Amino acid sequence: MPDIKIITEAELRKTVPLDIKVIDCIESAFSELASGKVIMPPILSMPIKEYNGEIDVKTAYLPGINSFALKASPGFFDNPKIGLPSTSGLMILFSCKTGVLEALLLDNGYLTDIRTAAAGAVAARHLSRIDSSNVCIIGAGTQAKLQLTALNLVRPIKYANIWARNFEKASLVAEELSIKLGFQIQASNNISEAVKSADIVVTTTPSTEPILKADWLHPGLHITAMGADQHTKNELDPQCLKLADLYVADSISQTVKQGELRAALDAKIISSEENFPELGKIINKTEEGRSSPKDITIVDLTGTGAQDTAIATYALKKAVELGAGEIFHN
């Protein structure tokens, strides 16, 4: 058997920072997904309600990339109470030509974190107003930090509000990010006002009930909803999708099952007969995106196997270039 490359989380954090190259990598994955040539099976998802947990398994084959990733991604959302991160996992790379195991990326959820943040930046780059400078982040976990960091790479962000149920945690995140990103960020205890003043809102929670109310929406607003990656989750009032000028899915086949579209369909706010564009088609300009500065746009991100194969193969390439990782002689 061929040798196997093993790369740890610490090595991946050094070799694959969240930067514009990662955002471009994930944008290419969306573009390829929209081509119709990608093979991407449905997500294998298993909730473990007893422990407020879940595990998703995702994969995809992207033509032109020599490897494909198989990712196992647990999320156990009570873990912070016992001092553990809420997400973990790993990615496994196989050869597309032979199926032979090539690499183990022991990223502990890091690559998923940065590819998810990069997806939010791709959504904003193509759907938000180009002059968007005021952001509201809903949530105060890892994605809250990364989403704002990624947004700052594609839009001229000058001010941000962080809202979370735990105001103290939101305050700590705001202080940390203010130092890191160099612009004014504060914790908000008034979510409606934070949303009403924002150009971009990003929802980053595992909520099972709507947090973002439809009557807070206003002309010109862009929303990236990335928390509803299970059929039990729902961050947006379903009426938001009815009020939006444009709703965009990362993958329609996924958002009808888990995502904000699923909730709107279940509430019969949206008809199953309606057609919606996918983000990759807007990137490829085969579907129209924002048509006016006054449009309200929503992007529904459930996370795709195409993104995982893209970030995993990118990470392996970077690791090889920089001499990171160990070789296991099988």
For position 267, what pLDDT does the model report? 87
**Helix axis angle, 20-33 to 305-322, nearest 10°:** 140
C-alpha 44/C-alpha 135 separation (Å) is: 33
Q: Are 103 and 236 found together in one domain?
A: no
Residue-wise pLDDT for 95-110, tens only, equals 999 999 999 999 999 9
What are the start-end ranges of the H helices in the chain? 9-15, 20-33, 110-127, 142-151, 167-181, 191-196, 239-243, 252-255, 260-266, 279-283, 305-322
Q: Which amino acid would we find at residue 152?
A: N
Nearest to 302 by CA among 232, 242, 245: 232
Q: Are 20 and 34 found together in one domain?
A: yes
C-alpha 132/C-alpha 128 separation (Å) is: 7
Q: Are 317 and 276 found together in one domain?
A: no
Residue 74's alpha-carbon distances to 46, 52, 261, in angstroms, are 9, 11, 23
Q: Are 167 and 81 found together in one domain?
A: no
Q: Are 99 and 57 found together in one domain?
A: yes
For position 85, what pLDDT does the model report? 85
Q: How many domains does the chain have?
A: 2
C-alpha 68/C-alpha 277 separation (Å) is: 26
Has residue 120 been placed in a domain? no
Helix (H, G, I), strand (E, B) or coil at 118: helix
Nearest to 254 by CA among 296, 200, 306, 201: 306
Q: Are 263 and 173 found together in one domain?
A: yes
Q: Are 273 and 312 found together in one domain?
A: no
For position 274, what pLDDT does the model report? 87
Q: Are 315 and 261 found together in one domain?
A: no
Residues of the chain with pLDDT under 70: 1, 228-230
Q: Are 271 and 134 found together in one domain?
A: yes
Stated pTM of the model:
0.93
For position 44, what pLDDT does the model report? 92
Has residue 86 been placed in a domain? yes
Q: Are 94 and 239 found together in one domain?
A: no
Q: Are 297 and 311 found together in one domain?
A: no
Has residue 50 been placed in a domain? yes
Pairing, β 222-225 against β 200-203:
parallel
Q: Which amino acid would we find at residue 179?
A: I
C-alpha 118/C-alpha 153 separation (Å) is: 10
Residue-wise pLDDT for 203-227, tens only, equals 999 888 889 999 999 999 999 998 7
Residue-wise pLDDT for 135-169, tens only, equals 999 999 999 999 999 999 999 999 999 999 999 99
Q: DSSP string covering 197-235, please?
A: T-SEEEE----SS--B-GGG--TT-EEEE-S--STT---
CATH number at residue 233: 3.40.50.720
Can you say whether the dihedral through the CA atoms of 78, 193, 158, 290 is positive or negative? positive
For residue 183, the enclosing domain spans 129-304
Q: What is the DSSP letter of 271?
A: -
Has residue 121 been placed in a domain? no
Has residue 145 been placed in a domain? yes
Helix (H, G, I), strand (E, B) or coil at 99: coil
Instruction: Measure the CA angle with vertex 307, ends 273 and 43; round to 5°.
Output: 55
Instruction: Measure the CA angle with vertex 17, ends 202 and 71; round to 5°.
Output: 75
Has residue 105 been placed in a domain? yes
